[in-house]
């Protein structure tokens, strides 16, 4: 049975550039090791996805609507539906002197920000730098392995998943209660001074209101205790 828009699921994803066999992303530890990009500092877990909400590439999102829990597919996405076709007009030639001290450190392949746009150095020659402002994977066909692991149905598991997506703490430190139409989060003390916490709390609240329509109030508790000598 197809998933409805807004359904929350956990899915494993692996994206690969067809032409170069480069791994773009994966949620699977064994895939990261297979492609020699394993990062021991990160956790490899299925990704939370809201079906139909563009949390992934549109063709992947559309295919997810047709899938069911336990199903696994390989999807081939052409450039125009992935990261776009390569546009030669987005390659700009800039005098090296404009980059100041950065110019001496540049090499082909480096990413650089110019005029609030990110590009990659394609060529350094004659006191000028050629910078490609196309997306890194523009013009490439992308292969995606997609497997739906679980559909989240209970309010408690949806709340946990939405919280950890916005605030990735250890699951054991997440404490909350549900009473009628209200969720109360008890925040761990190490979060109190996190930069941008207020913005994240607002974003999390909006997520909860959207994906748990029966909830109309979210409370965040911070508890301070007097230190005893």
Round to whole Å and give the CA distance between 65 and 44.
Answer: 24
The answer on 22 and 128 residing in a single domain is: no
Q: Give yes or no: residues 162 and 227 share one domain.
A: yes
Among candidate residues 132, 163, 191, the one where a domain is terminated? 132
63 shares a domain with 10: yes
Distance CA 64, CA 80 (A): 19
Same-domain status, 21 and 56: yes
Domain count, the chain: 3
Nearest-angstrom CA–CA distance, 54 and 138: 19
Q: Which two tokens stand for residue 200?
A: 């994240």
Q: Is a pLDDT exceeding 90 seen at residue 225?
A: no
Residues above pLDDT 90, as percent of the chain = 88
Are 148 and 158 members of one domain?
Answer: no
pLDDT digits (tens, 9 = 90+) for 62-116: 999 999 999 999 999 999 999 999 999 999 999 998 888 888 888 999 999 988 8
What does the DSSP 8-state code read for residue 3?
P
Residues 37 and 113 in one domain: no
CATH code of the domain containing 4 = 3.10.50.40
For residue 229, the model assigns a pLDDT of 67
Mean pLDDT within 160-185: 96
Q: Within this chain, do residues 104 and 115 fall inside the same structural domain, yes or no?
A: yes
- The CA R_g of the chain, rounded to the nearest whole Å, is 22
Question: Which residues form the domain of 105?
Answer: 88-132
**C-alpha angle 25-151-163 in degrees, rounded to nearest 5:** 70
> Does residue 49 share a domain with residue 124?
no
Predicted confidence at residue 227, as pLDDT, reads 82
Q: Give the model's pLDDT for residue 102.
A: 83
Mark which of 152, 185, 201 sits at the end of a domain: 152
Q: Please indicate, yes or no, whether residues 102 and 17 belong to a single structural domain of this protein.
A: no
Chain segment 107-146, per-residue pLDDT in tens: 999 999 988 899 999 999 889 999 999 999 999 999 999 9
Element (H, E) at 217: strand 217-221
Q: Tell me, what's the pLDDT at 174? A: 97
What single string gives the DSSP state of each residue in 116-178? TEEEEEEEEETTEEEEE-S-TTTT--EEEEEEEEEE--SHHHHHHHHHHHHS---GGG-EEEE
CATH of the domain at 175: 3.30.70.2210
- CA separation for the pair 100, 122 (Å, rounded): 18
CATH number, domain containing residue 116: 2.40.10.330
Q: Do residues 24 and 75 both lie within one domain?
A: yes
Q: Which residues make Cβ contacts (< 8 Å) with residue 153, sequence separation at least 6?
A: none
Alpha helices in the chain (DSSP H): 29-34, 58-66, 155-166, 197-211
User: Do residues 162 and 215 touch, judged by C-beta distance below 8 A?
Assistant: no
Q: Does one domain contain both 161 and 202?
A: yes
- The answer, yes or no, to whether residue 1 has pLDDT greater than 80, is no
Same domain (yes/no): 104, 162: no
């Amino acid at each position: 049975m197809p998933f409805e828009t807004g359904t929350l699921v956990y899915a494993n994803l692996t994206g690969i550039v067809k032409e170069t066999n480069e791994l773009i992303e994966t949620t699977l530890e064994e895939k990261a090791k297979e492609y020699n990009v394993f990062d021991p500092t990160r956790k490899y877990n299925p990704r939370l996805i809201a079906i139909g909400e563009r949390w992934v590439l549109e063709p992947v999102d559309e295919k997810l609507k047709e899938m069911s829990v336990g199903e696994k597919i390989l999807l081939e996405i052409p450039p125009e539906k992935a990261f776009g076709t390569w546009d030669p007009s987005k390659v700009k030639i800039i005098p090296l002197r404009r980059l100041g001290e950065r110019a001496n450190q540049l090499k082909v392949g480096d990413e650089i920000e110019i005029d609030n746009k990110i590009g990659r150095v394609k060529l350094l020659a004659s006191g000028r730098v050629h910078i490609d402002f196309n997306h890194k994977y523009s013009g490439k066909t992308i292969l995606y392995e997609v497997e739906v692991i679980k559909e989240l149905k209970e309010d408690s598991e949806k709340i946990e998943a939405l919280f950890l997506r916005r605030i990735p703490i250890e699951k054991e430190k997440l404490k909350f209660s549900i009473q009628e139409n209200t969720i109360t989060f008890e925040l761990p003390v190490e979060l109190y001074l996190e930069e941008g916490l207020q913005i994240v709390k607002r974003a999390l609240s909006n997520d909860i209101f959207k994906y748990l329509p029966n909830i109309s109030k979210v409370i965040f508790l911070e508890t301070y205790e007097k230190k005893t000598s």
